[in-house]
Chain A
Amino acid sequence: GAGVSQSPRYKVAKRGQDVALRCDPISGHVSLFWYQQALGQGPEFLTYFQNEAQLDKSGLPSDRFFAERPEGSVSTLKIQRTQQEDSAVYLCASSLAPMNTGELFFGEGSRLTVL
């Protein structure tokens, strides 16, 4: 497709389960970002990839969060031992430039609910 694709769109997990969220960026886009959006809040930065290199992971809230982009295209955000506070929409965004000039193209998000 032409846009950023994320799956699953909705995920319900029991507390303690591991989850994996997938992002398929726009073809050829070098930069890829993950954001977390809690209810009623704006998106908050989690991590940044330039091709396959994870250059910034300062926004990951704990070591239960792990992201990868092994071939510089599709990215996966993994959350281990999910907690209720992990419930949020996880947004993936990509841009063409290696140093983002500002405009990001966002996917529709993966809504995670932890019971």
Chain B
Amino acid sequence: DQQVKQNSPSLSVQEGRISILNCDYTNSMFDYFLWYKKYPAEGPTFLISISSIKDKNEDGRFTVFLNKSAKHLSLHIVPSQPGDSAVYFCAASARGGTSYGKLTFGQGTILTVHP
């Protein structure tokens, strides 16, 4: 039962254009969503997050949009740079209760930004 899904295994974008990475979830208890970035042979690093009380959060070139009714979120990178090439993981958390904030991850999307 894949509770967090990233249906696009890979995405290729030209430098300077917009990258849009998508993520869907099924568990309505999730109330906090994060994007992590991972380079080869390194651990995932936190990129940006959004609480379920918001529908948008922006940090520099990165913006995350949340559509709760559709159980969908997306990460926009504008403008894309070659250094953004990495695997991007969407993750979700149901804070509180006995979940201890553990994260449920999607399968990841490999982003390649061409110069």
Contacts and interface: CB of A to CB of B under 8 A. Distances in A.
Interface string A45-70: 10010100001100000000000000
B44 A102 contact: no
Contacts of B91: 42
Given A42-B89, A91-B43, A108-B42, A102 B105 contact: no
A101 B51 CA distance: 10
B93 interface: yes
B74 to A, nearest CB: 17
B53 interface: no
Interface string B58-101: 00000000000000000000000000000001010101101011
A56 B34 contact: no
Contacts, number: 73
A102 B95 contact: yes
Interface residues of B, number: 27
Interface of B: 4, 6, 32, 34, 36, 41-46, 49, 89, 91, 93, 95-96, 98, 100-108
A106 B43 contact: yes
| Interface residue range, chain A | 20 to 34
29 contacts: A4-B43, A31-B100, A33-B103, A40-B107, A41-B107, A42-B91, A42-B105, A42-B107, A43-B103, A44-B105, A45-B102, A45-B104, A50-B100, A55-B98, A56-B102, A91-B43, A93-B43, A97-B101, A99-B100, A99-B101, A100-B102, A102-B32, A102-B34, A102-B103, A103-B49, A104-B46, A105-B46, A108-B43, A109-B43
